[in-house]
Copies of this chain bind each other. A is one copy, B any other.
Amino acid sequence: MKDILTYLKKEKGRFVEELCELLQIPSISTSEAHKPQMAQAASWVSRQLKKVGVKDVTVHKTAGHPIVTGHTPHVAGAPTVLVYGHYDVQPAEPLELWKTPPFEPTVLGSKLFARGSADDKGQFYIHLKVLEAFKQVRGGVPINVKVLIEGEEEIGSPSLVPFLRQHKKDLACDAILVSDTHMHGLKTPSITTSLRGLTCLEVKVRTASTDMHSGTYGGAIANANQVLAELLVQCKDPKTGKVKIPGFYDEVRKLTPAQRRGLKAIPHDDARYARSVGAREVFGERGFTSIERAGARPTFEVNGMWGGHIGEGIKTVLPAEAGAKISMRLVADQDPTVVAKRVKAHLLAIAPPHAKVSVRKLDNDGLPVMVAEDSPAMAVACEAVEKVFGVAPFLALEGGSIPIVADFKKVLGADPILLGFGLPDDNLHAPNEKFDLRMFDRGLATVAYFFELFGAQGRG
């Protein structure tokens, strides 16, 4: 492997420069206005794939944003890995909190700041550069690699599931490599074995047909902001952090005592964890540790909330409408549809008679995922990590959602390997997202080992 590792080391500067080209493209999938940038990013990916020796590179049109696919030249007898990534990113707002512009990638010390640097442009790019190294140094990678890069991960991958079904045969594989998660730390590598699911709702409260003068009507007509606050407090207990929606926890798989012991073994300090995000202290569901709360327990979070006058200055209005965007992270064996239905029913049931409450389900459900911890691909992944980091990875729970992973398993019947190279403080979905270039380096080496070791296994 020395040849490959030497190449990766030598070319690293150019790799980062090339990555910055992609990071400059504001490929925000949720925004209609950014459709041209989505096409631009897909086209950049397809050019890169050709450059690193991927064949039959195709940019597939979809109802939403394009999907890019391709595969390496066939290696007889070797197993097949599908590598997956997404070129779309979250919106960058609030812009004023970014220390460097989100779409002007900036390296500060070992950190590369840009929207999408860790989620997921910088990560799937690792796979491509490892393919390049094998091609340049050895003429090819010793394994069959299929590539699938989509542009709708941040909006729930609506086009990918039909695409998977349609291209099921072309995408057949022994394992699916996904680098879209993080490790516990630079020196404490981890592989993710579970992902939370997701379901989202938008709630609107209306107390009158139009905003009113808070002097004339204040005290006699209900305030939509106040009603919304009341609804939210009736969904989550301020003291215990428990979600109060009837049936919410019904299908939650209980952690076994062995699992809880395993999670307790992960190095973790609540005070340091809180400090790392600038919080005074942790807060969550009573009776669980922070690691359990963020990985093995479902949540109810108000992602956005608005009502009345939120602009400059004073406007003593009595607001007629208020709204909230709410997401629930789910764990096995919760079903997004069932949970969303229960939350909606609860919100409608607790609506006071003086308000009209409406609930709209958003189309970005994701099933929670539990990955088999004993597959051949997982064994290879663990070995690759240990070779690069010097210690064996521990198996971690990821609180985030990559809804498509559940679909991969279901449609393609192969095991997903969640081998991500982010770090917990990467500021995903937040201002000042960054990717640690030391993890980029280790990611390159780890994926190189993974391809090499998995290839050496022969068809599993």
Q: Any chain B CB within 8 A of the CB of A127?
A: no
- Taking the nearest CB of chain B, how far is it from the CB of A232, in angstroms? 4
Complex CA–CA separation, A247 to B414 (angstroms): 65
Complex CA–CA separation, A193 to B399 (angstroms): 60
Contact in complex: A294, B427 (CB < 8 Å): no
| A: number of interface residues (CB 8 Å) | 103
Q: A109 — which chain B residues lie within 8 A by C-beta?
A: none
Q: Any chain B CB within 8 A of the CB of A287?
A: no
Q: A245 — which chain B residues lie within 8 A by C-beta?
A: none
Complex CA–CA separation, A220 to B431 (angstroms): 19
Q: A229 — which chain B residues lie within 8 A by C-beta?
A: 228-230, 232-233, 302, 305
Q: In the complex this chain forms, how many copies of it are found?
A: 2
Q: Any chain B CB within 8 A of the CB of A222?
A: yes
Contact in complex: A315, B222 (CB < 8 Å): no
Q: Any chain B CB within 8 A of the CB of A209?
A: yes
Q: A31 — which chain B residues lie within 8 A by C-beta?
A: 312-313
> In the complex, which residue of chain B has the Cβ closest to the Cβ of A239?
B352
Contact in complex: A305, B322 (CB < 8 Å): yes
Complex CA–CA separation, A356 to B278 (angstroms): 11
- Taking the nearest CB of chain B, how far is it from the CB of A146, in angstroms? 27
Complex CA–CA separation, A320 to B367 (angstroms): 26
> In the complex, which residue of chain B has the Cβ closest to the Cβ of A195?
B215
Contact in complex: A430, B290 (CB < 8 Å): no
- Taking the nearest CB of chain B, how far is it from the CB of A279, in angstroms? 5
CB-contacts of A403-460 with B (<8 A)? 424, 427-432
Contact in complex: B310, A305 (CB < 8 Å): yes
Contact in complex: A428, B216 (CB < 8 Å): yes
Complex CA–CA separation, A210 to B216 (angstroms): 39
Contact in complex: A429, B225 (CB < 8 Å): no
Contact in complex: A354, B233 (CB < 8 Å): no
Contact in complex: A313, B91 (CB < 8 Å): yes
Q: A424 — which chain B residues lie within 8 A by C-beta?
A: 216
Q: Any chain B CB within 8 A of the CB of A187?
A: no
Q: A285 — which chain B residues lie within 8 A by C-beta?
A: 219
Q: A310 — which chain B residues lie within 8 A by C-beta?
A: 304-306, 310, 325
Which has the most chain B C-beta neighbours within 10 Å: A31, A364, A428? A428
> In the complex, which residue of chain B has the Cβ closest to the Cβ of A236?
B226
Q: Any chain B CB within 8 A of the CB of A93?
A: yes
Contact in complex: B427, A210 (CB < 8 Å): yes
Contact in complex: B313, A430 (CB < 8 Å): no
CB-contacts of A268-307 with B (<8 A)? 273-274, 277-285, 290-291, 293-294, 297-299, 301-307
- Taking the nearest CB of chain B, how far is it from the CB of A363, in angstroms? 9
Q: Any chain B CB within 8 A of the CB of A5?
A: no
Q: A91-B311, A155-B313 are contacts. A213–B429 as well, Cβ < 8 Å?
A: yes
Contact in complex: B329, A215 (CB < 8 Å): yes
Contact in complex: A301, B223 (CB < 8 Å): yes
Q: Any chain B CB within 8 A of the CB of A309?
A: yes
Q: Any chain B CB within 8 A of the CB of A401?
A: yes
Contact in complex: A309, B303 (CB < 8 Å): yes
- Taking the nearest CB of chain B, how far is it from the CB of A190, in angstroms? 13
Contact in complex: B294, A211 (CB < 8 Å): no
Q: A151 — which chain B residues lie within 8 A by C-beta?
A: none
Q: Any chain B CB within 8 A of the CB of A172?
A: no
Q: Any chain B CB within 8 A of the CB of A390?
A: no
Q: Any chain B CB within 8 A of the CB of A8?
A: no
Which has the most chain B C-beta neighbours within 10 Å: A230, A301, A312? A301
> In the complex, which residue of chain B has the Cβ closest to the Cβ of A327?
B316
Q: A233 — which chain B residues lie within 8 A by C-beta?
A: 229-230, 233
Q: Any chain B CB within 8 A of the CB of A162?
A: no
Q: Any chain B CB within 8 A of the CB of A267?
A: no
Q: Any chain B CB within 8 A of the CB of A207?
A: yes
List 7 additional contacts besides A30-B315, A213-B400, A280-B353; criterion CB under 8 Å: A213-B430, A215-B398, A216-B399, A218-B327, A225-B304, A305-B306, A317-B430
* Interface pairs A-B: 3 shortest CB-CB: A209-B278, A215-B400, A30-B313
